[in-house]
Amino acid sequence: MLKTLKAQIGEFARDSILTPLCMIGEVIMEMIIPLMMASIIDDGVEKGDIHHIYVVGAWMILAAALGLLFGVMGGRFGARAATGFARNLRRAMYRNIQTFSFSNIDKYSTAGLVTRLTTDVTNLQNAYQMILRMCTRAPVSLIVAMCMAFSISPRLASIYLVAVVVLGICLVFIMSRTFGYFQETFRKYDDLNASVQENVLAIRVVKAYVREDYENEKFKRASGRLRDLFMKAEKILTLNMPLMQLTVYGCILFISWFGAQMIVVGDLTTGNLMSLLNYCMNILMSLMMLSMVFVMITMSRASARRIVEVLNERSDLADGEDPLTQVKDGGIDFEHVGFAYKKGGEEVLTGIDLHIRPGETVGIVGGTGSSKSSLVQLIPRLYDVTEGCVKVGGEDVRRYDLEALRNSVAMVLQKNELFSGSIKKNMRWGNPAATDEEIREACRLAQADDFIQAMPDGYDTHIEQGGSNVSGGQKQRLCIARALLKKPKILLLDDSTSAVDTATDSRIRQAFAQKIPGTTKIIIAQRISSVQDADHILVLDDGKVNGWGTHEELLANNEIYREVYMSQTQGGGDFDQKGED
Ligand SMILES: Nc1ncnc2c1ncn2[C@@H]1O[C@H](COP(=O)(O)OP(=O)(O)OP(=O)(O)O)[C@@H](O)[C@H]1O
Ligand SMILES: [Mg+2]
């Protein structure tokens, strides 16, 4: 874990080393000052030597200024190292998430990834800064101040020893009590983020179902639980300060009491008593800081683990050695394909054998959950098969360079998305170099040109996040146009015209047949009318091929197909109702 994190310090290694060095400089200056003060009192004030006061005073100012400088520099280096470290972490995580395959993504929740990228990184950033500054400062300050105190008066300094042990025990007790609570808060953060994320993304659904009150209540509970945990932890932590003050004032009282007696009999000078009192503060503050660093480290350990998990996640779709960069044609072959979403899990596709020639149009129909989406997702290698193989252009998809393959296979996902930005910008996701004319051509093919022209800003119309300001059918057509701009050899439409009216749907298919005859087109649809003029139609049932043929052949031989066709032509019905009911 530490090795992975260390690699992310990168160019900020210099700052990370300079910070503790500056902190040591600051401590040394802090330690010298009480000594000088003692000298001013004992050799200057008591002996009436004004010159000595001036000289030592000047050195003291210098030491203080240096101490300040070291402190400021340490702070700056520390901040730079910690923020840089956090930036590197975020970048590395983000970059790695981009390489995730669909099955990697299935493993993490979106909310979980967001928490890891934000809260967890911030935690680690704070902890890192604290560690850089305090991990050397506190122990060095504690030890040096202790040595100084002992060199002045071992008898009085032993009071500190007792105080350190007592305070130490109390702090360990406090920290161990709070640690459990802090651990718990991270789990609650995930819940809270999940709740916010889900709710905000689906805010329209929440409103449609008038679930605001329920959602408010749910959020209130989640944030209330978080508050309770923090309150519990903080309640114990507030004991820190009074405990600290009790010890400090106790020490001062004892030192003054015994010190005064020693001064009277001449065992101690007034100046030395002053220094001792100064070290008192140093020693106990260092102990306090150490305990805080300890809390920080334990608190950030959970965050660090969650970050490293994302950093070390490897995409399970690695390119093979010497990958192919050219897809020969749009032919597709499924050979004895079996597929399960989880290794060793239940197969959602079994024994699939299909051969599709380049340029063919193939329709896929079947009830919901019959694995239509699962089947086509194997073609652009969004998932890998668990058995058999899928070939594109005569070659196993695993032999291709992933980018080359996905550029040749355009897929309009069932749950597709538009991004915030103009229509043109969205279209250029398909092909960054597309000219305006090419964009229009693609939109014409997808029957989107008309409604885009009718919009006030035409192709420069701004699309809101998730495409919330266009209708469902418009969004689907924009997504088809975007896929067409890739000029793919294979076009996969997963229920992509479900929200488009039948007439427009038919015009889209006509345009495809005329304008892109060489492209292999695979169309998943619920409506028979969307696929009936395809070269072949595949009927899927429960992950298995139930029928394969033309519309006429299937009408004659395939029971499922015939029933659904009858029910749809006689009004209503779809693949789940199989026509009987
Ligand atoms: N990401 C996933 N992880 C695990 N199981 C999944 C995943 N996606 C789908 N499944 C399962 O795979 C099976 C087939 O789902 P699939 O989405 O392929 O059906 P479909 O035919 O496309 O249905 P629909 O017509 O509703 O889109 C279902 O039982 C579903 O629960
Ligand atoms: Mg589907």
- DSSP labels, 162-189: HHHHHHHHHHHHHHHHHHHHHHHHHHHH
Predicted local confidence at residue 576, as pLDDT:
57
The CB of 115 under 6 Å from ligand 1? The reply is no
Token duo for residue 449: 């040109």
30 exposure class (CB count in 10 Å sphere: 0-12, 13-18, 19+): buried
Three-state SS letters, 335-367: EEEEEECCCCCCEEEEEEEEEECCCCEEEEECC
Predicted local confidence at residue 440, as pLDDT:
93
Three-state SS letters, 426-491: HHCCCCCCCCHHHHHHHHHHCCCHHHHHHCCCHHHCEECHHHCCCCHHHHHHHHHHHHHCCCCCEE
| Matching residue, tokens 């330690």 | 31
Nearest CA, atom 3, ligand 1: 341
Nearest CA, atom 28, ligand 1: 369
Dist. CA 373 → ligand 1 center (Å): 7
CA-414 nearest atom, ligand 1: 27
The CB of 372 under 6 Å from ligand 1? The reply is yes
The answer to whether 500 and 477 are in contact (CB under 8 A) is yes
Fold: same for 323-408+491-500+526-572 and 412-487? yes
Dist. CA 376 → ligand 1 center (Å): 11
The CB of 538 under 6 Å from ligand 1? The reply is no
Neighbours of 516 (CB within 10 A): 17
Nearest CA, atom 26, ligand 1: 368
Strands 421-422 and 409-412: unpaired
Predicted local confidence at residue 240, as pLDDT:
81
Q: Of 457, 451, 521, give the one whose Cα is nearest residue 484.
A: 521
Nearest 5 degrees, angle CA 525-CA 531-CA 536?
115
Residues in CB range of 344: below 8 A, 6 or more apart? none
Predicted local confidence at residue 248, as pLDDT:
84
Nearest CA, atom 9, ligand 1: 374
The answer to whether 466 and 481 are in contact (CB under 8 A) is no
Nearest CA, atom 6, ligand 1: 341
Ligand sitting nearest the alpha carbon of 574: 1
DSSP 240-269: HHHHHHHHHHHHHHHHHHHHHHHHHTTSS-
Predicted local confidence at residue 578, as pLDDT:
46
Q: Which residues pair with 352 in a beta bridge?
A: 337
**Mutational test site, ligand 1, from 101, 316, 371, max ligand atoms within 8 Å of CB:** 371
Predicted local confidence at residue 571, as pLDDT:
58
Query: Taking the complete model, does pTM exceed 0.85, yes or no?
Result: no
Q: How many CA atoms lie within 13 A of 435 on its CB side?
A: 3
Nearest CA, atom 31, ligand 1: 369
The CB of 374 under 6 Å from ligand 1? The reply is yes
Nearest CA, atom 14, ligand 1: 371
3-state helix, strand, coil in the chain (%, to 5): 65, 10, 25
Nearest CA, atom 5, ligand 1: 341
Distance CA 171, CA 288 (A): 8
The CB of 153 under 6 Å from ligand 1? The reply is no
| Matching residue, tokens 């290794």 | 343
49 exposure class (CB count in 10 Å sphere: 0-12, 13-18, 19+): middle
Predicted local confidence at residue 580, as pLDDT:
44
Ligand sitting nearest the alpha carbon of 377: 1
Token duo for residue 377: 């997702």
DSSP state of 421: E
Neighbours of 574 (CB within 10 A): 16
Dist. CA 497 → ligand 1 center (Å): 19
Q: How many CA atoms lie within 13 A of 139 on its CB side?
A: 7
- CATH number, span 412-487: 3.40.50.300
CA distances from 218 to 80, 210, 229, 333, 400 (A): 39, 14, 17, 49, 47
Q: Which one of 3.40.50.300, 3.50.30.30, 1.20.1560.10, 1.20.210.10 gives the CATH number of domain 2-312?
A: 1.20.1560.10
Asked if the 323-408+491-500+526-572 domain carries CATH number 3.40.50.720, the reply is: no
Distance CA 138, CA 291 (A): 10
- Ranges of each domain in the chain: 2-312, 323-408+491-500+526-572, 412-487
Sign of the CA dihedral running 377, 379, 383, 384:
positive
Dist. CA 340 → ligand 1 center (Å): 10
Distance CA 229, CA 235 (A): 10
| Matching residue, tokens 């929740």 | 109
Q: What is the three-class DSSP state of 35?
A: helix
Dist. CA 79 → ligand 2 center (Å): 49
Ligand sitting nearest the alpha carbon of 367: 1
358 exposure class (CB count in 10 Å sphere: 0-12, 13-18, 19+): middle
Distance CA 112, CA 248 (A): 44
The CB of 490 under 6 Å from ligand 1? The reply is no
The CB of 348 under 6 Å from ligand 1? The reply is yes
Token duo for residue 161: 């020893």
Distance CA 37, CA 48 (A): 15
Q: Which residues pair with 490 in a beta bridge?
A: 409, 520
Distance CA 272, CA 263 (A): 10
Predicted local confidence at residue 574, as pLDDT:
56
Instruction: From first to last of the 581 residues of the chain, give the pLDDT tens digit.
Output: 888 898 999 899 999 999 999 999 999 998 888 888 888 988 888 888 899 999 999 999 999 999 999 999 999 999 999 999 999 999 999 999 998 888 888 888 777 788 889 988 999 999 999 989 888 888 888 888 889 889 888 988 898 889 889 888 988 888 788 877 877 887 787 778 777 877 887 788 888 888 888 888 888 888 898 899 889 888 888 888 888 888 888 988 999 999 999 999 988 888 888 888 888 888 888 887 887 787 778 778 878 988 999 999 888 777 777 888 999 899 999 999 999 998 888 999 999 999 999 999 999 999 889 999 999 999 999 999 999 999 999 999 999 998 899 999 999 988 888 888 999 999 998 889 999 999 999 999 999 999 999 998 999 999 988 788 899 899 999 999 999 998 899 999 999 988 889 899 999 999 988 888 899 999 999 889 999 899 999 999 999 999 999 999 999 999 999 998 998 887 555 565 544 43
Ligand sitting nearest the alpha carbon of 541: 1
Dist. CA 367 → ligand 2 center (Å): 9
Ligand sitting nearest the alpha carbon of 345: 1
Q: Of 479, 507, 510, 482, give the one whose Cα is nearest residue 495.
A: 479
The CB of 457 under 6 Å from ligand 1? The reply is no
CA distances from 245 to 163, 281, 327, 505, 544 (A): 12, 10, 75, 78, 75
Distance CA 237, CA 229 (A): 12
